[in-house]
Structure 1
Amino acid sequence: MTVTAILVLAAGTYAFRVAGPLLRNRMARTRGGEAALPPRLTELMSVAATTLLVALIATATLTDAGSFAGVALPAGVLTGGVLAWRRAPFVVVVIAAAVVAAGLRALGVP
């Protein structure tokens, strides 16, 4: 049963990964020099993807097991976000975020 479940999940994951580029190429074909997707729809799809990513980050940052995660975790994520925005090296971003979150927890901040 376990091997079957793993194989089914692997096939499904592969199908989703392949479907993205295939559908994009199919939908982005031009018809008589005119784009198949209107520019407004392309822009909305980009905004929707960004919105979903921000919602995922907010949920993972602010909650832990269905309740508020405390202040230390969001502070660490905020630190990492600011450093990434300022184009700090990735290793610096990760280490600084971890140090801020761990330091606040060591000081007793939840």
Structure 2
Amino acid sequence: MNATVALILALAVGTYAFRLVGPALHGRVALPARVQELLAAAALVLLVALLATGGLTEGGGFAGWARPAGVLVGGALAWRGAPFPVVVLGAAGATALLRAAGVA
């Protein structure tokens, strides 16, 4: 077995073990309220960072104005409680219309 296969297997076992710890320790470990608040805030910050990098950059540079506008439309639809397919199609449609209109 070469090193690549061993690394893939080790990562697979580690990922499975990491996912198994949550249900196994649920109810046995109590986190303080402050830690729970910080974890919720950290998750929100990570999601916003992912949204910003995915929605604003492409190939290490600015993606143009059409993509952020599409992300904004999708965010507005999600905030208004639209179903997920409507959010995705609305964001993609807004981006496509802007690109067809010549907005890069």
Q: Partners of 2:16 and 2:60 in 1: how far apart?
A: 31
Residue identity over aligned pairs, in percent, reads: 62
Which residue of structure 1 lines up, in the alignment, with residue 48 of structure 2? 54
SS for the counterpart of 1:27 is: coil
1:106 matches 2:93: no
Give RMSD over aligned pairs. 1.9
* Larger relative contact order (Cα-Cα within 8 Å, sequence gap ≥ 6): 2
Matches within 5 A, 1:7-86: 7-22=9-24, 25-28=27-30, 37-86=31-80
Q: Name the TM-score, length of structure 1 as normaliser.
A: 0.78
Q: Name the TM-score, length of structure 2 as normaliser.
A: 0.82
SS for the counterpart of 1:108 is: coil
Q: Which runs of 5+ in 1 are unaligned?
A: 29-36
Query: In the superposition, relative to structure 1, how do residues 41 and 100 fare at CA in structure 2: closer, same or farther (>3 Å)?
Result: same
Number of aligned residue pairs = 102
Stretch deviating more after TM superposition (7-16 or 60-69) = 7-16
**1:87 equivalent among 76, 81, 86:** 81
